[in-house]
Amino acid sequence: MAMSLVGGTSSRIFVCGGCGSYRPSRSRRLRVTAAAGGDAAVRVRFAPSPTGNLHVGGARTALFNYLFTKNHGGKFILRIEDTDIERSTKESENAMLQDLEWLGLDWDEGPGKPGEVGPYRQSERNSIYQNYAQKLLESGHVYKCFCSDEELARMKELAELKKLPPRYTGKWATASKQEVDAEIARGTPYTYRFRVPRTGSVTINDLIRGVVTWKHDVLGDFVILRSNGQPVYNFCVAIDDACMKITHVIRAEEHLSNTLRQVLIYKALNLPVPRFGHVSLILAPDRTKLSKRHGATSVGQFREMGYLPDAMVNYLALLGWNDGTDKEIFTKDELMEKFSLERITKSAAIFDQTKLSWLNGKYLHQLPDEELVKLISSHWLKAGILSHADSSFTKEAVELLKDGIDVVARSEVPLLKLLSYNLAQTLESKSLGDLVKDNLREVAEALISAHDNGELASALESGRDGWQTWTKSFGKKLNRKGKRLFMPLRMLLTGELHGSDLGSSMVLLHKAAQQQCVTAPQFTPLSSRISQLKELDWSKLQEDHQTIEAAAAAA
């Protein structure tokens, strides 16, 4: 990796073989930059902790890494950071791998795809960490600390009283070899603490946020190995990124504060420093951190809800990135071609599930008819609406209702609206007044007659053509056409004032009854709807609407 040091009296870094060690010239202030080009290929990593589900924020981080390295012809490495023994589970790891595969974010190296720099689970790399910890101990960058939890708590309390950041001030940073040996002989547990220089600073040129500088004195000596021998997060990450030859670390901005510790470890071990890019957080619409109280937040949840992987990838890419135009729909290949870190915004992205659903609808409607029918009908079957999914009713229902469906998991809503009959509720609507005044009863009585003499059923048996022929004849008998004919017909037949094409809806309802494929308890066949019309008290209905109109006028 071509690298350079800028600032102070620094000049050049000489990169060596092996793990990529180098010897920097002496400098009071280190400003690290690393070129994306040069002799080495781009290598990025996504390093989730298997302690829960893959959050949409983590999925976006994985996607940005994937798109960046594909744009540069590099490698995408997947590393499992499972050093949290108590919380890490194999079930969580497997679920994360499945979610990444579902999104199409195939890794080049990682679990199941071994490379030259494995293993790719931190729990399997302990000997590597122990080796580097020993090197730091021998070089004097690390020392053994025998402070008890009580002593450390007192240091923290004292710092809080003085309104200072908590920093280690114990004696073990300057303890003699005799003092250390005496504690070891007593069997006193100890940690490995990294010795932070008291003067100087670290500066990085963040690929997204620009120049960021930390003074050494904001940080106390920090632990790299716990008393049980387990390495801590920042130590593992620095060692792994160096040994896996990671050139670019693209991660969430909440990790920005970790960078100081990691760069100090790189420097102490003469390891190459990657380029850093810290992406802003994803917030909920109320601009608070996205959490479970805002609804679905994990990739697995959206997958179960019927969102399509291509739509999810497209939407995640738009959370903080754009190509400089108003374009919002991108194929995966287009994203790989156009993606760049320069187009990532510094401001937080807002997760808008309504927009995700809209985008998902666009992808859903692009599916071949056969695939769309299979997806939606499978959900209807699972939801207990259908007894079987391979009927002409199912295919025609999908065709009629698909424009109102953006997510498969919500596809039962328009179907149940079609199958149910909310006449009583609609009759109480203020919007019904004009229909009642326009002799709605006349249309209802004629409709009942058409049903009882078999005329309506015969028309529906002939499909939409039969329906159109019948409505023309029905309208002529009542001297009605246009809205005066179809508005009351829709209300009386469907129980709704608005909805899908009336003729197609009625043909579907007829087929549902004929094919006996609907098991939803909400299903009200045509005969039952006519029975409800026969029981209506028209005088009372007219009086009720006169009362409603009088109250509205008085108000």
- Which residues carry out catalysis? 292
β-sheet bridge partners, residue 342: none
Q: How far is the CA of 421 from the CAs of 41, 496, 509, 542, in angstroms?
A: 64, 8, 11, 21
By DSSP bridging, strand 142-145 and strand 75-78 are unpaired
Q: How far is the CA of 175 from the CAs of 144, 183, 271, in angstroms?
A: 9, 11, 28
Using DSSP's 3-state secondary structure scheme, residue 474 falls into helix
- Report the candidate in 3, 342, 5, 23 with the shortest Cα–Cα distance to residue 202: 5
Q: In what order do the strands lie in the sheet with 248-252?
A: 75-78, 43-46, 248-252, 275-279
- Contact present, 249 and 274 (Cβ < 8 Å): yes
Residue 42 has a CB neighbour count (10 Å cut-off) of 22
- Contact present, 109 and 78 (Cβ < 8 Å): yes
**H-helix or E-strand containing 341?**
none
β-sheet bridge partners, residue 191: 145
According to DSSP, residue 324 is labeled S
The span from the CA of 334 to the CA of 327, in Å, is 11
Beta strands (DSSP E) in 177-247 are 191-194, 201-206, 210-215, 222-225
Three-state SS sequence of 101-134: HHHCCCCCEECCECCCCCCCEHHHCHHHHHHHHH
The span from the CA of 200 to the CA of 8, in Å, is 10
Angle at 441 between CA 435 and CA 446, to 5 degrees: 115
339: Cβ–Cβ under 8 A, 6 or more apart, which residues? 64, 67, 68, 70, 71, 317, 321
Q: Which residues of 115-138 are buried (b: 16+ CB within 10 A; e: fewer)?
A: eebbebbbeebeebbeebbeebee
Q: Which residues of 271-284 are buried (b: 16+ CB within 10 A; e: fewer)?
A: bbbbbbbbbbebbb
